[in-house]
């Protein structure tokens, strides 16, 4: 097709949705994330401590859940190198009991397309409840 402006046609369109994906969260992954990120807050590893401060159980780092959303956005964008802006609100903790694999389910919709960028609205739920709010990723088109 002739493209008089010379601009590359985007493969993304506003309103486009993507196949939802679920990623596992386990106590072992939280320990790996704590070591990799340096965030050693015991509420993310120690059940006794988490309960002593009024939490139902060990909870995932909000930044761990956001990182999973970043992985999902990177898959849609084609590479993690394409992500330019990324934001999220931590609305509800992901509770991770011992010996259980908890799944966080991600879905996304394109909210804006320009010649240079694509904006995604991402939804993250765990057991049917939203765990992140206002999750948006902007990536290079």
Partner 1 sequence: MLNPDTVGRTFTSADSITVTQESITAFALAIGEPNVEVAPPTFAITITLDKSQELLQSSGLDWTRVVHGDQKFEIQRPIVAGDVLSCSSTIESARMVAGNEIVTVRSDLHDGDQLVASSWSTLVVRA
Binding region for partner 1 (CB under 8 A): 23-24, 29, 32-33, 35-39, 62-64, 66-68, 70-71, 73-74, 79-81, 83-90, 134, 137
Between CA 119 and CA 138 the distance in angstroms is 4
Q: Between 67 and 126, name the residue whose CB sits nearer to partner 1.
A: 67
* Minimum separation from the CB atom of position 5 to partner 1 (A): 27
Q: Between 12 and 33, name the residue whose CB sits nearer to partner 1.
A: 33
Q: Between 51 and 84, name the residue whose CB sits nearer to partner 1.
A: 84
Give me the torsion for CA of 133, 134, 139, 141, rounded to 10°. 120
- Which uninterrupted H or E stretch holds 62? helix 62-77
The sign of the CA dihedral 125, 130, 131, 135 is: positive
């Amino acid at each position: 097709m002739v493209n008089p402006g010379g601009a590359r046609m985007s493969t993304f369109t506003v309103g486009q949705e993507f196949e939802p994906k679920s990623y596992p969260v386990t106590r072992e992954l939280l320990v790996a994330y704590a070591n990799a990120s340096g965030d050693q807050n015991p509420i993310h590893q120690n059940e006794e401590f988490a309960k002593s401060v009024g939490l139902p159980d060990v909870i995932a780092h909000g930044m761990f859940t956001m990182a999973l959303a970043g992985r999902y956005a990177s898959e849609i964008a084609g590479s993690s190198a394409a992500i330019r802006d990324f934001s999220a609100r931590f609305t509800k903790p992901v509770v991770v009991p011992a010996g259980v694999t908890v799944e966080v389910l991600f879905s996304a919709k394109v909210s804006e397309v320009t010649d240079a960028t694509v904006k995604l609205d991402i939804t993250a739920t765990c057991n049917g409840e939203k765990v992140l709010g206002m999750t948006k990723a902007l990536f290079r088109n």
